[in-house]
Amino acid sequence: MTNATTRVTNAKLDLHKPPLWSLNLTKQIYDQESRPFIVVGLIVLVIASAGVVYITGGTTYVYPQLMYLPVVLAGLVFGFRGGLLVAVLGCILIGPWMPLDVERNIPQNTFSWIVRGCFFMLNGGVAGGLSLLLRQRLEFSEAIAEQLSLMYGRSLRSLALLLAERDQKTGHHSDQVAYNAHIMGLRLSMSQADREALYWAAILHDLGKIGISESILNKPGPLTAGERLEMQRHAEIGYRLLQAASPEFVHVAEVVYSHHERFDGAGYPRMLERYNIPLGARILAVLDVFEALTSQRPYRDPLPTDQALEYLQLESGKHFDPELVDLFSELYYGGQIATDGEKVDQMNELYLQYDTKAMLVKLL
């Protein structure tokens, strides 16, 4: 990862709230590929706990309680059977074979280690019950996310089709911006949920233009002051349309609302500055301007890409986040940025690939 990437990632970059760690942790625990490592870890913990009990002088001290850790973990990961199995193993290791006092070689009372073993099994069983609840919660959440993602994905694609139908040039422009946003999101190690929000914000960042007069959108010359103010309303219109479509689109809407803010605070509509601007909006600011400069417009011909890159560097720290300008330039010269007429197949595949499941799981 480059210095630019590192600096940007360490700054105030979150598109929205941190993920629900409990769901993520639960998924990792129940991941089949993790099971062998967990088994080895549990065996090590059981043996280590018994070893600590012996080394510290026997069961007369508090250290037998360490055995509850592998017992509970086994119950959480492997359910009732796993919890009971490890409980029995722990009971044997620090039961009849473990002295009450190692130094004086005093054996344990049979009743004591049997009672202790019962408590181990009780805790293993309770942990197994909690494991079942966690599994059900995970399955329920994923099922809801799967169904909602289909519905919300259709909603977002419908809005994208509406935008493309209104202005085919804008539709192609948005596809290319979205592809490049995806590339930058990957390079910045953004989470799947954040990349989904960024991708759909890029696809729909000009959604509000459906509320702007075509005479303004297609005017062949410079806009008047009044027309410019009218055009600037598209950021707020797009924001309100997405919020009205679903509350779950709030993170997409926020990026759409902010993609015309400037790093120096001179943008619109809220005059946000620096890292008060969402990361997604700062990314879109770079990509949207580059795409606009290198595309045909009613009032001018496209600029050569080298001149567009020079403009980005000139406005670095003023209009744009300088770290993102550096990253974009690096990706462009590395051949990863799509320009006009390039990577059409990859853009189409990406459009079909992205749904809203990761965003929804994050919200559940």
CA distance 313 to 302: 18
- pLDDT (0 to 100) of residue 128: 85
32 with 82, same domain: the answer is yes
- pLDDT (0 to 100) of residue 3: 45
135 with 219, same domain: the answer is no
- Residue 297: count of CB within 10 angstroms of its CB: 12
- pLDDT (0 to 100) of residue 255: 93
What helix, strand, coil percent values describe the chain, rounded to 5? 70, 0, 25
- pLDDT (0 to 100) of residue 146: 61
CA distance 171 to 175: 6
Domain of 317, in residue numbers? 167-363
Residue 78 falls within a domain, yes or no?
A: yes
CA distance 188 to 330: 13
Look at the block and give the residue holding tokens 């065996």: 43
The answer to whether 359 touches 192, Cβ cutoff 8 Å, is no
Residue 153 falls within a domain, yes or no?
A: no
- pLDDT (0 to 100) of residue 360: 47
293 with 344, same domain: the answer is yes
282 with 352, same domain: the answer is yes
89 with 209, same domain: the answer is no
Q: Which two tokens stand for residue 297?
A: 């417009």
301 sits in the region (left: phi over 0; alpha: psi -120 to 50; else beta) called beta
218 with 135, same domain: the answer is no
The answer to whether 253 touches 274, Cβ cutoff 8 Å, is no
Residue 9 falls within a domain, yes or no?
A: no
- Residue 329: count of CB within 10 angstroms of its CB: 18
pLDDT tens digits, 96-135? 888 888 888 898 888 888 999 899 999 988 988 888 887 7
Closest by CA position to 178, among listed 206, 199, 196, 151: 199
Residue 246 falls within a domain, yes or no?
A: yes
120 with 179, same domain: the answer is no
Question: Which CATH number does the domain housing residue 188 bear?
Answer: 1.10.3210.10
User: 315 in helix, strand or coil?
Assistant: coil
- pLDDT (0 to 100) of residue 312: 94
Question: How many structural domains is the chain composed of?
Answer: 2
86 with 187, same domain: the answer is no
CA distance 252 to 290: 21
- Residue 36: count of CB within 10 angstroms of its CB: 9
Dihedral of CA atoms 23, 16, 160, 302 in degrees, nearest 10, equals -140
200 with 71, same domain: the answer is no
- pLDDT (0 to 100) of residue 216: 83
User: 212 in helix, strand or coil?
Assistant: coil
Give the residue from 120, 139, 158 where a domain finishes: 139
The values of phi and psi at residue 285, to 5°, are -60, -45
- pLDDT (0 to 100) of residue 155: 67
356 with 213, same domain: the answer is yes
- pLDDT (0 to 100) of residue 347: 75
Residue 233 falls within a domain, yes or no?
A: yes
From first to last of the 364 residues of the chain, give the pLDDT tens digit: 444 444 444 333 333 333 444 445 445 555 566 778 888 888 899 999 999 999 999 888 888 889 999 998 888 888 888 888 898 998 898 988 888 888 888 988 888 889 998 999 999 889 888 888 877 776 776 666 566 555 666 666 676 666 666 655 555 677 888 889 999 999 999 988 888 889 989 888 888 888 888 788 777 778 888 888 988 898 999 898 888 877 778 888 999 999 999 999 999 999 999 999 999 999 999 999 998 888 776 666 778 888 999 999 999 999 999 999 999 999 999 988 888 767 777 777 776 676 555 454 454 4
Residue 281 falls within a domain, yes or no?
A: yes
- pLDDT (0 to 100) of residue 167: 57
- pLDDT (0 to 100) of residue 16: 38
Residue 262 falls within a domain, yes or no?
A: yes
Give the residue from 123, 139, 155 where a domain finishes: 139
Residue 115 falls within a domain, yes or no?
A: yes
Q: For residue 338, how far is the Cα from the chain centroid?
A: 23
Give, in order, the Cα–Cα distances in Å from 72 to each of 5, 44, 98, 142, 173. Answer: 41, 14, 21, 25, 54
200 with 288, same domain: the answer is yes
This prediction has a pTM of 0.60
How many Å from the N-terminal Cα to the C-terminal Cα in the chain?
32
- pLDDT (0 to 100) of residue 172: 62
- pLDDT (0 to 100) of residue 331: 93
The answer to whether 15 touches 280, Cβ cutoff 8 Å, is yes
Closest by CA position to 259, among listed 217, 212, 198: 198
pLDDT tens digits, 166-175? 655 555 677 8
132 with 221, same domain: the answer is no
CA distance 163 to 313: 31
Helices 192-203 and 110-166, axial angle in degrees (round to 10)? 10
DSSP annotation of 359 reads H
